[in-house]
Amino acid sequence: MYRRFFGVVRKIGIPAGLLILAMLACGESEEPQKLRPAAPETTLRIISLSPELSRLIVSFGLATEIIGVDAASHSLPKLESTANLGTLEGLDTSAVTALKPDFVFVLGEDDQIPIAAELRERGIPLYIFNPTSSNAVIQSIQDLGTILDRKERAQSATRRLTQEISKIATERDGEKRPSVAWILQRDPIVVVGDRGLLHEILELAGGEIALHQFPGERIEVSRHMLAARKPDLILDSSPQGQQEPIAMGVRTEVIPTSIGELPTLDLLGRIQLIHGLLDPPQ
């Protein structure tokens, strides 16, 4: 998808920002949740159980309406005085119910959220976001704005996001893109494949997957297979990333394990980090 996009930009000269905006807004969409928007100009009672969602809700101007957060969100600016509900894994549904929230927002996969069924049984409006593509990240931000009656704020956020991404994505337009092997796991070696959100993040950052001939989101490879592809760069976000290099003679950059974890709404942050590592140090 991105190679075709770069080719169109070069050929017909359409502004890259407009093309990426259209690409992200009109790409393949996932099955949407049923949205129940808040009544206009009402005071809301919001619980956010993800720092990425918490930052977005604060950016929508709703910090004072967040009444409870997960432990990771509690240290964020403007949220220190909200109820700290602890980790998602150890969340007490009774504590959530006692706060009488209008909305509970979570980032993750439905079947991996232990409290989901119980919250729904208690009649609490629970919204779970699990974007699996760059398009779905944009859609999630817009859906959150719709639910909270902050459509304009959400649209402004996605415009800024796509503009920033377009600057990065077209910076190497017409140049050779460095081939990258992104390691997610070491034993066995698992790397990012030729599809999925992590693949899109790498390509938008200006890189190219080194192992294109093996289809899939996550690919298990051997050291020999990896060395044979001769990547320009290895990104290592495996939990064991501080160990010896996987392939001798190939520049390796160790990045936080969290950068390779999904789901995420932090599309721009990850693209910026990887973009900054693609060129060798001067």
* Residue whose token pair is 């959400």: 154
**Mean per-residue pLDDT over the chain, rounded:** 85
The segments of the chain whose pLDDT lies below 50 read: 1-32
At a CB cut-off of 8 Å and minimum separation 6, what does 198 contact? Answer: 182, 184, 192, 217, 260, 262
Q: How far apart are the first and last CA of the chain?
A: 32
Q: How many other CB atoms sit within 10 Å of the CB of residue 209?
A: 24
Domain limits, the chain: 179-277
Task: Provide Rg for the chain, Cα atoms.
Answer: 20
pLDDT digits (tens, 9 = 90+) for 5-54: 333 333 323 344 444 444 444 444 444 455 666 655 568 999 999 999 99
Whole-structure pTM value: 0.84
Cβ pair 202, 220 in contact under 8 A: no
- On whether the CB atoms of residues 266 and 131 are closer than 8 A, the answer is no
Say whether domain 179-277 belongs to CATH 3.40.50.1980.
Answer: yes
- Tell me the pLDDT tens digit for each residue of 136-168: 999 999 999 999 999 999 999 999 999 999 999
